[in-house]
Amino acid sequence: MSPTYRQPGVVLTDHRFTVPLDHDDPEGERIELYAREAVAGDKAGEDLPWLLYLQGGPGFGANRFSGKQAWLGRALEEYRVLLLDQRGTGASTPASRQTLPLRGGPAAQADYLAHFRADAIVRDCEAIRPRLTGGAPWTVLGQSFGGFCTVRYLSTAPEGLSAALITGGLPSLNAHADDVYRAAYPRIERKVAAHYDRYPQDVERARRIAEHLLAHEPVVLPGGYRLTVEAFQSLGILLGGSEGSHRLHYLLEDAFVTTPEGPALSDAFLEEAQAQLSYAGHPLYALMHELIYTRQGRPTAWSAERVRAEFPQFDAAKALAGDGPVLFTGESVHPWMFESDPALRPLRETADLLAARADWAPLYDRERLAANEVPVAAAVYHEDMYVDTAHALETARAIRGLRTWVTDEFEHDGLRAGGPRVLDRLLALVRDEV
C-alpha cells in the first residue's frame, strides 16, 4: 500500500513503479521509478484529472515542495498532480559514481546511460499512466528539459495527452549541439554584460578572483572540488535565473579575506562556490546534458568545449592580459568538470564514450507534430539564457495548433518565480480563454 501523508493543505502519496530499462526488451532488466502524488486536502476523495509534471535538467528529481508552493497551488485547484522523478534521478533507481560501477566498466556504463534520454522517459510515462488514470489521457507540464520530453511525447504518444503545457522548453527539432552553443555564447555574453551594468563593481571583483585563481590554481575547495578559473567562470549559470544576478553579486562581494599570508579566498566564498558547482546531487546532468541535442549520425564530441574556442572573449587569461571584463559562462558541460569535481572524476571515461557516440535515434517526428491535435501552449522567455528564443519559436511554428506566450517578464525559472501566473496563462491558452 502506498504511503500517504499530509502537508499544509495537501495530501501526498508515494508511488513506486518498475519499468523496463529498455522498453524494446520488456522481459529484460527493470528499474524503479518514484513519483509523488499531490492533491488538495479538501479534494482528496474527488475524481480529478491528472497533471504530470516533468522537471527540467536532465538529471534532476522533481521539485520537493512544502505545501502549495510555486505553481503547485494553482495546479491543485483542479488537478491531481504527479511529480515524477525521471529515471536515474531523485528516489528512482539512481545513476551516479557510486552506483554505475555495478554495471561494469565505462563501456557498460555508457550503454546503460544510453537508455536515459527523453525517448525512454516518455515511454516510462506511458507505462505508468494507465496504472494511475485507468487509461485516461493526462495533462503534462514540462519545464525546460521537461518541455523537450513533452515535445517527444507529442511526437510519439499524443494519445496519452489531453493537453501539453511547456515552459522554457521548446527544443530545436534539427539543430546539433554545435548549433545550440553557437547561439548560446553570444546570448550568455549579453547576460554577463547586463549583470555588469547592474553591478559595475563586479567587473573588478571578477578580475581579481580570476587573477588569484590563475596564480594559485587549483584551489581545492572543502569538499575536494578543484576551483580553476574556468570553474569560476561557470558560476555564470546563475545568470539564467530570476534572482541569479543578485546571487552572483553577493557571492563576489565577500570573496576575499586578509590572512597572515596575505589576501585569500574566504572560506564562506569557497563553501558557496562548491555548493553551486558540485554535481554530487545531479551527476546525470553532466553526463547527459549535451545528449539532449543529439542528431542521428553525429556525436556531440564535447560540443560546448569545442564551440567555446570560437569565442575568444571567454578566455579569462586573454581578458586579464588586457582591460576587458572576465566573462562568465552558462549552462554547459565541459571535460574539465570531470577532473575538477570529485563526484564526476570516476565517470570521465564514461562521459567520453557518450560524447563519442553517434548511433542516436531521432527524438522528434516533424510529420506527427505538423498534424498535432493536442492543445499545446508554451511560455517562451525572451532572451532565455538556456534555450534559444529563435530555435524555440521555429519549433513552435512546426507544432500544429501550439500557442505561444513570449515574455521578458520572467527568466528561465519563470514557472518557479511566477508559478501561479505562468500556469494560469498556459491553461488559459490551451483552453482558448485568451
Predicted confidence (pLDDT) per residue in 324-335, tens digit: 999 999 889 999
Question: Residue 330 has what pLDDT?
Answer: 85
Sheet holding 30-40: strands in order across? 4-7, 10-20, 30-40, 80-85, 50-54, 138-143, 161-167, 376-381, 403-407
Question: Residue 148 has what pLDDT?
Answer: 98
Domains of the chain, start order: 4-173+364-430 (3.40.50.1820), 177-356 (no CATH)
Lowest-confidence segment of 28-42, 215-229, 241-255 by average pLDDT: 215-229
pLDDT above 90 as % of the chain = 94
Q: How confident is the model at residue 2 (pLDDT cuts 50, 70, 90)?
A: confident
9 Rama sector, left if φ>0, alpha if ψ -120 to 50, beta otherwise: left
Spell out the SS3 assignment of the chain: CCCEEEECCEEEEEEEEEEECCCCCCCCCEEEEEEEEEEEHHHCCCCCCEEEEECCCCCCCCCCCCCCCCCHHHHCCCCEEEEEECCECCCCCECCCCCHHHHCCHHHHHHHHCCCCHHHHHHHHHHHHHHHHCCCCEEEEEECHHHHHHHHHHHHCHHHEEEEEEECCCCCCCCCHHHHHHHHHHHHHHHHHHHHHHCCHHHHHHHHHHHHHHHHCCEECCCCCEECHHHHHHHHHHHHCCCHHHHHHHHHHCCEEEECCEEEECHHHHHHHHHHHCCCCCHHHHHHHHHHHCECCECCCCHHHHHHCCCHHHCHHHHHHCCCCCCCCCCCCCCCHHHHCCCCHHHHHHHHHHHHCCCCCCCCCHHHHHCCCCCEEEEEECCCCCCCHHHHHHHHHHCCCCEEEEECCCCCCHHHHCHHHHHHHHHHHHCCCC
- Average confidence score pLDDT of the chain: 96
Question: Residue 100 has what pLDDT?
Answer: 97
For the chain, give the number of residues: 434
Catalytically annotated residues: 144, 359, 412
Q: How confident is the model at residue 419 (pLDDT cuts 50, 70, 90)?
A: confident
CA distance 233 to 332: 11
Neighbours of 355 (CB within 10 A): 20
CA distance 434 to 425: 8
Q: How confident is the model at residue 206 (pLDDT cuts 50, 70, 90)?
A: very high
Taking residues 258-269, what's their average pLDDT? 93
Question: Residue 231 has what pLDDT?
Answer: 97
pLDDT at 37 over 90: yes
How far from the centroid of its chain's Cα atoms is residue 345's Cα?
21
Convert 61-93 to b/e letters by CB count within 10 Å (16 or more is b).
bbbebeebebbbbbbbeebbbbbbbbbbbbebb
Question: Residue 218 has what pLDDT?
Answer: 81
pLDDT at 295 over 70: yes
Contact 411, 417 (CB under 8 A): yes
pLDDT at 1 over 80: no
How far from the centroid of its chain's Cα atoms is residue 111's Cα?
22
